[in-house]
Amino acid sequence: MDTIGLGITVLSLGIWIGLLGFRGQFWRADQRLVIEKFPTRSVGEGESLPSVCAVIPARNEAELLPTTLRSLLAQDYAGCLKVIVVDDQSTDQTCTIAQALAQESNESSERFQLEVLSGQELPPGWTGKLWALEQGICHGQQQTPAPDYFLFTDADIEHDPANLRQLVTKAEMENLDLVSLMVLLRCQDFWERLLIPAFVFFFQKLYPFAWVNNPTKSTAAAAGGCILIRHQALNRIGGIEVVRQALIDDCALAQAVKSSRLLAEVGNREQGTGNSGQELTQSDAARSWGFPAGATASRTLSEKYFCNRSSNQSRSSSGSLSGLGGIWLGLSQSTRSLRPYPSLASIWNMIARTAFTQLEYSPWLLVGTVMAMTLIYLVPPIGLIVSILTGHWLNAIASFVTWLLMALAYLPTLRLYQCSPLLAFCLPGIGLLYTLMTIDSAWRHWQGRGGAWKGRVYSVEG
């Protein structure tokens, strides 16, 4: 038994060495959009800055809108900004407050305009947020001229005055199709300080930002609270409709944009072939997005791409893919979410809403996740305590070193959130809570209560 215990502990230690050394340095939390890097203007004085249309889905956000909308309208961006708030069937004063802010803003600014749309009834096959985005996008595309970029942002996000300028400059300087920020989540109350930094840490571990930002890696992710996407890129993938049923819509959108490079490559190969080439291309695309070859989402995306490819013919025929499908995801220290999570229940519900979705609703992946979380997070402290009590000092040393590596990995994220470094040693207990939340997410799904959000429960496409 002693040998087995030591073997399990060494395995946990090996996993942490692998995570720290070979998983994109995710734990460093160093992918940042730094204000000082960017000039006040990103193009020459004789050129016009790209126009931006911001779309904000809002459902029962009356409390936060006065602060968040004003922050967006106070940007120091020198280009044109059109803000569209889509009231998603709110039952509070969201629409009234947004309309009052629109009147106030439009009277005081000619360059930044705010418009409020009353959202239509949610049709089958859509989630509420994406249906609201779709309505805002369609309205924004009617602008003359059409916007160069769309900014998708949530109604709870308070933007730093330089945020839009930084996002556009990043996209223009590096020729990116999508730039996204994981905003600073609220971290004030006890449960927020205990659990919210870990949420960011786990997200970075799942989607190492350095890999997301590397065009040669297939990893793709975005943070839905703040996404700037090039209008041409959105059209190229077929619009927001291609991810209309995704509960984790931000990562699905990023995957679609990044995968468009593969579509362009196989599209170039298909130009000299017949129909069978196109069939092969769509099958390859499905696999690249992580869907079965016949899955609706992947099929829709590949078909939409081919329908829209004529508008990009000159780009793909030239064989130049520079910047095509390029995405970037980073952390913000100044743009923040104001949404409170003051209790364990509120954070629990946030995680349980989509955790099982991340596991593709697979019982086997759930079992594997529970085993992995136990091995990675619970074995070191349990092993340390048991080894000290039984006098197995070699096992105790291995357990302590593993726990120490875990704590050191968590420190950069805690510094980002200005939390006590002592919380780093609480990561095993935090990991246990997140594991229980994931199990509860699966249980809710099996009971038909998965994906519940603001009075709606979204079913999974079969």
User: H or E segment at 162?
Assistant: none
The answer on pLDDT for 393 being more than 80 is yes
Polymer length in residues for the chain: 462
* Coil, helix or strand at residue 186: coil
- Residue 313 in tokens: 């013919």
**For residue 112, what are the β-bridge partners?**
81
- pLDDT band for position 132 (cuts 50, 70, 90): very high
- pLDDT band for position 293 (cuts 50, 70, 90): very low
| Mean pLDDT of the 290-297 span | 43
Contact between 186 and 339 under an 8 Å Cβ cutoff? The reply is yes
Of residues 364 and 291, the one with the higher pLDDT is 364
pLDDT tens-digit readout, 34-90: 755 445 544 444 468 999 999 999 999 999 999 999 999 999 999 999 999 999 989
The answer on pLDDT for 312 being more than 90 is no
Alpha carbon distance 275, 314 (integer Å): 21
Contact between 156 and 68 under an 8 Å Cβ cutoff? The reply is yes
Per-residue pLDDT at 126: 87
User: H or E segment at 301?
Assistant: helix 296-308
Alpha carbon distance 95, 60 (integer Å): 9
Alpha carbon distance 314, 260 (integer Å): 15
Residue 184 burial (CB count, 10 A): 22
- pLDDT band for position 105 (cuts 50, 70, 90): confident
| Mean pLDDT of the 330-346 span | 96
Of residues 156 and 324, the one with the higher pLDDT is 156
The answer on pLDDT for 109 being more than 90 is no
Task: Let me know if 47 is exposed, middle or buried by CB neighbors in 10 A (0-12, 13-18, 19+).
Answer: exposed
Place of tokens 């223009």: 172
- pLDDT band for position 351 (cuts 50, 70, 90): very high
Per-residue pLDDT at 453: 55
Place of tokens 């913000």: 332
Alpha carbon distance 268, 280 (integer Å): 13
Per-residue pLDDT at 33: 87
Lowest-confidence range among 187-201, 303-317, 439-453?
Answer: 303-317
| Mean pLDDT of the 391-397 span | 94
Per-residue pLDDT at 296: 44
Share of the chain above pLDDT 90, in %: 70
Per-residue pLDDT at 150: 98
Q: Provide the pairing of β-strand 226-230 with 178-184.
A: antiparallel
Mean pLDDT of the chain: 85
Per-residue pLDDT at 271: 55
pLDDT tens-digit readout, 409-446: 999 999 999 999 999 999 999 999 999 999 999 999 99
Per-residue pLDDT at 106: 81
Share of the chain above pLDDT 70, in %: 80
Alpha carbon distance 212, 101 (integer Å): 37
Query: CA distances (Å), 235 to each of 36, 98, 230, 252, 403, in order?
Result: 32, 28, 9, 15, 47
| Mean pLDDT of the 28-39 span | 75
- pLDDT band for position 459 (cuts 50, 70, 90): low
| Mean pLDDT of the 441-455 span | 78
Alpha carbon distance 64, 158 (integer Å): 9
- The contacts of residue 238 (CB under 8 Å, 6+ apart) are 300, 301, 303, 304, 305, 307, 308
The answer on pLDDT for 406 being more than 80 is yes
pLDDT tens-digit readout, 197-244: 999 999 999 999 999 999 999 999 999 999 999 999 999 999 999 998
Per-residue pLDDT at 112: 85
The answer on pLDDT for 95 being more than 50 is yes
The answer on pLDDT for 307 being more than 50 is no
Per-residue pLDDT at 451: 61
Alpha carbon distance 347, 344 (integer Å): 5
Contact between 111 and 82 under an 8 Å Cβ cutoff? The reply is no
Contact between 205 and 422 under an 8 Å Cβ cutoff? The reply is no
Of residues 248 and 341, the one with the higher pLDDT is 341
Beta strands in 145-301 (DSSP E): 149-153, 157-158, 178-184, 226-230
Lowest-confidence range among 54-63, 247-256, 297-306, 317-326?
Answer: 297-306
Per-residue pLDDT at 454: 57
- The contacts of residue 83 (CB under 8 Å, 6+ apart) are 53, 54, 56, 69, 72, 73, 105, 112, 113, 114, 115
- 0.75 exceeded by the pTM? yes
Place of tokens 């086997």: 364
Instruction: Kindly compute the dihedral angle of the four CA atoms of residues 163, 168, 172, 178, in this order, to the nearest 10 degrees.
Output: 100
Alpha carbon distance 230, 193 (integer Å): 35
pLDDT tens-digit readout, 261-291: 766 666 555 554 444 444 334 444 444 444 4
Per-residue pLDDT at 456: 57
Which DSSP letter does residue 376 get? I
